[in-house]
Amino acid sequence: MYYNWTKDTNTEELKIVCNLIKNGELVIFPTETVYGIGANALDSNAVNKIFIAKGRPSDNPLIVHIANKSDIDKIAKDITKMEKKLINSFMPGPFTIILKRKECVPNNVSAGLDTVAVRMPDNIIAKAIITYSGVPIAAPSANISGRPSGTSVDDIRKELEGKVSAIVDGGKSNIGLESTVVKVVDEVPVILRPGKVTPEQIEKTVGKVVIDSNVFAKPKKDTKVESPGMKYRHYAPNTKCKLFYAKDEKDLIFEINKQIRIYNNVVVLGFKEHKDKINVKENNYIEVSSKDNIEEYAKNIYTDLRKADNLNANVILIEGVEKKSFGIAIMNRLLRTCEYDYKEL
């Protein structure tokens, strides 16, 4: 079933969707970050359907979505002062925190770990579905595992229709990248996956913050992870991708044009200002954003990766951004998109 709530949430359809969740079925729904594919987080059989639908490895934990802060105590325990401060500062919003889980949370939600990742979306549709379902909802990004996440129903409907019981269309995601994931270690917040909530924002709120070494490092396959997006190939189209960044745009443009001469049939994902300087045919240049609009870049990147993939090129060349603030999150995703085929000039 497909429901269009881009203008208004339909009350009767909401009841249907929530009953599906209660009865162990899968529903795709919007959040402010990306679309999620959700199931009752307290029903291990329902959760298992997520892994099957996505083709997701079972050792990759899921994020549990709640509607109210009071719901945290139902699924997590031994919450520290620092954890409470982070919860009060950044929830609801694009922020996930790793907490000690209660036994009511099934093992497959947390990949057998004693922790649970918890998030409270700041999206009216997501909040309504969680609230009226009456259960926390486990929901990874709505996409086939490894593919770019879905930031609109148009991006993901074809690959997931038939694998879920309902798809709720809430329009384009406002942010376009998954949430920031934080674990508190010795009362210090550690960013496991960067997102819209930046290190600077966390530091300003609670003091010291640490960025996990795996944010930019190639993941080790034999390591257990506590956050999605840390281990496996992620956010990637079928076409090979290469990532480039330079502070001097002349160096960047020179390198991109050099790569175009090396490869035949190239697609470039780049800035609007560079389009006339890159030597590819017009249809093979996809404008992600202007070079000074990092929020637009994040909002467009997954959809544009899918557009580029549909052009059946030999390679996709991507202009990256500086690794600071929200740019840390963008480059974290793109490094995994390109399987670490990255050159900084």
Would 230 be classed as within a structural domain?
A: no
Identify the band that residue 226 occupies on the pLDDT scale cut at 50, 70 and 90. Answer: confident
148-170: average pLDDT = 94
CB atoms within 10 A of CB 272: 14
Phi, psi dihedral angles at 333 (to 5 degrees): -70, -45
307: tokens are: 């557009």
Query: Has residue 234 got a pLDDT over 90?
Result: no
Q: How many domains does one find in the chain?
A: 2
Q: Identity (one letter) of the amino acid at 117?
A: A
229-252: average pLDDT = 86
Would 183 be classed as within a structural domain?
A: yes
Instruction: Give residue 264's pLDDT.
Output: 85
Q: Identity (one letter) of the amino acid at 329?
A: A
Instruction: Give residue 230's pLDDT.
Output: 65
| Partners of 344 in the β-ladder | 245
Measured distance CA(343)–CA(318) in Å, rounded: 11
Would 81 be classed as within a structural domain?
A: yes
Say what percent of the chain tops pLDDT 90: 89
User: What tens digit of pLDDT does each residue of 246-276 get?
Assistant: 999 999 999 999 999 999 899 999 999 999 9
Sign of CA dihedral 333, 335, 338, 339: negative
Would 233 be classed as within a structural domain?
A: no
Would 236 be classed as within a structural domain?
A: no
Judgement on whether residues 155 and 110 belong to the same structural domain of the protein: yes
- Pick the last residue of a domain from 215, 250, 269: 215
Identify the band that residue 58 occupies on the pLDDT scale cut at 50, 70 and 90. Answer: confident
User: In what side-by-side order are the strands of the sheet with 342-344?
Assistant: 285-289, 266-271, 315-319, 241-245, 342-344
Judgement on whether residues 175 and 250 belong to the same structural domain of the protein: no
Judgement on whether residues 29 and 172 belong to the same structural domain of the protein: yes
Query: Has residue 221 got a pLDDT over 90?
Result: no
CATH of the domain at 262: 3.40.50.11030
Measured distance CA(161)–CA(3) in Å, rounded: 13
Judgement on whether residues 32 and 174 belong to the same structural domain of the protein: yes
Query: Has residue 131 got a pLDDT over 90?
Result: yes
| Three-state DSSP state, 5 | coil
The chain-wide mean pLDDT, for the chain, equals 94
User: What tens digit of pLDDT does each residue of 279-314 get?
Assistant: 998 899 999 999 999 999 999 999 999 999 999 999
Which single residue is written with the structure tokens 């290190």? 199
57 neighbors 145 (Cβ within 8 angstroms): yes
User: What tens digit of pLDDT does each residue of 1-55 get?
Assistant: 999 999 998 899 999 999 999 999 999 999 999 999 999 999 999 999 999 999 9
Q: DSSP for 212-275?
A: -GGGTSPPPTTS--SSTTSSS--S--SS-EEEEE-SSHHHHHHHHHHHHHHSSSEEEEEEGGGG
Q: Identity (one letter) of the amino acid at 198?
A: T
Instruction: Give residue 343's pLDDT.
Output: 95
Instruction: Give residue 236's pLDDT.
Output: 85
Which residues, including other chains, have CB under 8 Å from residue 122's CB and lie 6 or more apart?
Answer: 32, 92, 93, 94
Judgement on whether residues 54 and 12 belong to the same structural domain of the protein: yes
Alpha-carbon radius of gyration of the chain: 20
Would 300 be classed as within a structural domain?
A: yes
155 neighbors 303 (Cβ within 8 angstroms): yes
Q: Which domain holds residue 173?
A: 2-215
CATH of the domain at 79: 3.90.870.10
Judgement on whether residues 157 and 268 belong to the same structural domain of the protein: no
87 neighbors 72 (Cβ within 8 angstroms): yes
Instruction: Give residue 59's pLDDT.
Output: 85
Would 50 be classed as within a structural domain?
A: yes
Instruction: Give residue 160's pLDDT.
Output: 94
Say what percent of the chain tops pLDDT 70: 97
